Amino acid sequence: MLESIVDAVFDPEWNATHRVKIWAFIVGSLFLSGIGLPLPEDLPLMASGFTTYKQAQDTFVLWHYVVTFLTVTIPILAGDLCAYALGRRYGFGLRDRVRFIGRALSDDRIARVKHWYDEYGSFTVFLGRQVAGVRLVTFYTAGTMRMNVAKFVLWDFLGCLVSVPVWLTLGTLAARFGREWMQAASGKIGLVFLGVVLLAAVGLVLFDRRRKRRAGS
């Protein structure tokens, strides 16, 4: 069953046939991630690069990627603007009324982002777009500070110009070489690679726990 699912995902015809559902999922996920729901933004961005390559019959077509960039950037900016608008309208008091916003807008994250705004001003919006985990805080705080909305959109868009192509490229590489990577993973080289990735993941978890303990002390 797993093999049949993999065959379908890597099949250009399957991607072309299901393009509407695929893009609806990607656009919806990006918008919901922007307004603060705990959904990873990077995965749908990678999926957009993956399916763009597949829908072009395993061919890199530049203008397809230009369209993809615009397609994913619009819901990203729309979601970020919603976070900005919530901050502008309700301030940080909304943390006590909406649970997932309260979890995302933790005191240490707010303190970190406010420090960035003190140091870098509006450029913080650009920085926040590049760092997973503080995006909602960055954009929400911009709203509470009543940053000029045009300036907010400009810096957010410039941030997309940097981050989005990176994830599109990674998704395209996965579409192009994913089969070979999966085959390699079944051999010794693949096992070594997976071991390194696993160790890195464990290290990141331990580092994050240590950082949280320090922040709580």
- Looking at residue 208, its pLDDT comes to 64
Task: Give the span between the Cα atoms of 214 and 217, in whole angstroms.
Answer: 5
Q: Return the domain boundaries, the chain.
A: 2-178, 187-217
Segments of the chain scoring below 50 in pLDDT: none
Q: What angle do CA 190, 196, 197 make, to 5 degrees?
A: 90
Task: Give the span between the Cα atoms of 200 and 207, in whole angstroms.
Answer: 10
- Looking at residue 57, its pLDDT comes to 93
Q: What is the pLDDT of residues 7-64, one digit of tens each?
A: 888 899 999 999 999 999 999 999 998 887 778 888 899 999 999 999 999 999 999 9
**What 3-state DSSP class applies to 187?**
coil
- Looking at residue 117, its pLDDT comes to 95
Task: Give the span between the Cα atoms of 97 and 74, in whole angstroms.
Answer: 28
- Looking at residue 139, its pLDDT comes to 95
- Looking at residue 23, its pLDDT comes to 96
With tokens 């579409």, the residue in question is 175
- Looking at residue 133, its pLDDT comes to 82
Q: What is the pLDDT of residues 2-13, one digit of tens each?
A: 677 778 888 999
Task: Give the span between the Cα atoms of 201 and 184, in whole angstroms.
Answer: 20
Side chain identity, residue 181: W
